């Protein structure tokens, strides 16, 4: 079974620009979560989508947004990029539901903002 | 104070040693406890998860959860150079999205030398 895929793997953007990252979950998985990983703050939860609806959200500004499509693929958008947005952005998929399901991570998109 | 505390290390041990990795937490609502391994430039890989208190063993890995002390541990027996990676603990409480909002520790960098 193919794992979680993320595109692009690397991205360089300039302050003030916007960026869209893509995540394709494992086949059959309906929940997609997004995380930001930085050396200073570690891994932090951004938001989670299930059936095209955002079910949970972390403490990030509104510049960070996402969506999920009917095939469970998800995109994350960051507008008005700041230098501090430089990070590894990870998505994770799980079967979801309300029970306990393992989350499987993709390789991440490394975003550098200059 | 962070919800999940984890010593970032680094931890350096000789091959064959028993490794003990630990996390403490403050949120008594956490019920689902996970350990992830992350190699350099890769996404986190789920090693084990435990629901509520108790022990769980998988090969050379043993996870322990002590909810009364808000303390979790991962033991690695007969450590190998291939175990060299960053180990992240993660926890979640039941929310609107189920257990999909993971709160991570900072990660402990482990080096196993031959």
Q: What is the pLDDT of residues B85-101, one digit of tens each?
A: 999 999 988 877 677 78
CA distances from B112 to B13, B68, B77, B85 (A): 5, 32, 12, 9
CB contacts, 8 Å: A99 with chain B:
98-99
In this complex, the residue of A4, A56, A105 whose CB is nearest that of residue B97 is A56
Which of A29, A3, A11, A26 lies closest to A76, judged by CA? A11
Q: Is B40 on the interface with A (CB under 8 A)?
A: no
**pLDDT tens per residue, range A45-92:** 999 999 899 988 999 999 999 999 999 999 999 999 999 999 999 999
Share of chain A above pLDDT 90, in %: 82
Q: What does A54-93 look like in DSSP terms, one character per residue?
A: EEEE-S--TTEEEEE-TTS-EEEEE-S--GGG-EEEEEEE
Q: What is the pLDDT of residue A103?
A: 87
User: If pLDDT is split at 50, 70 and 90, which confidence band does B16 have?
Assistant: very high
């Amino acid at each position: 079974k193919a794992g979680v895929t993320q595109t692009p793997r690397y991205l360089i953007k300039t302050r003030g620009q916007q960026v869209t990252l893509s995540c394709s979950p494992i086949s059959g998985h309906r929940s997609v979560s997004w995380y930001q990983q930085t050396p200073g703050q570690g891994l932090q939860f951004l938001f989670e989508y299930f059936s095209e609806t955002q079910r949970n959200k972390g403490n990030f500004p509104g510049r960070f947004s996402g969506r999920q499509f009917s095939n469970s693929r998800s995109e994350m958008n960051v507008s008005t990029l700041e230098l501090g947005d430089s990070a590894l952005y990870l998505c994770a998929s799980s079967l979801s539901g309300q029970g306990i399901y393992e989350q499987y991570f993709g390789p991440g998109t490394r975003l550098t903002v200059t | 104070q962070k919800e999940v505390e984890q010593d970032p290390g680094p931890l350096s041990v000789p091959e064959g040693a028993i490794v003990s990795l630990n996390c403490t937490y403050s949120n008594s609502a956490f019920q689902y406890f996970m350990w992830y391994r992350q190699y350099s430039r890769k996404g986190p890989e789920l090693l084990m998860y435990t629901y509520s208190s108790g022990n769980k063993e998988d090969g050379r890995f043993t996870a322990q959860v002590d909810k009364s002390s808000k303390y979790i541990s991962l033991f690695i027996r007969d450590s190998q150079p291939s175990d060299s990676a960053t180990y992240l603990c993660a926890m979640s409480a039941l929310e609107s999205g189920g257990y999909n909002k993971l709160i991570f520790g900072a990660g402990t960098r482990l080096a196993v030398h031959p």
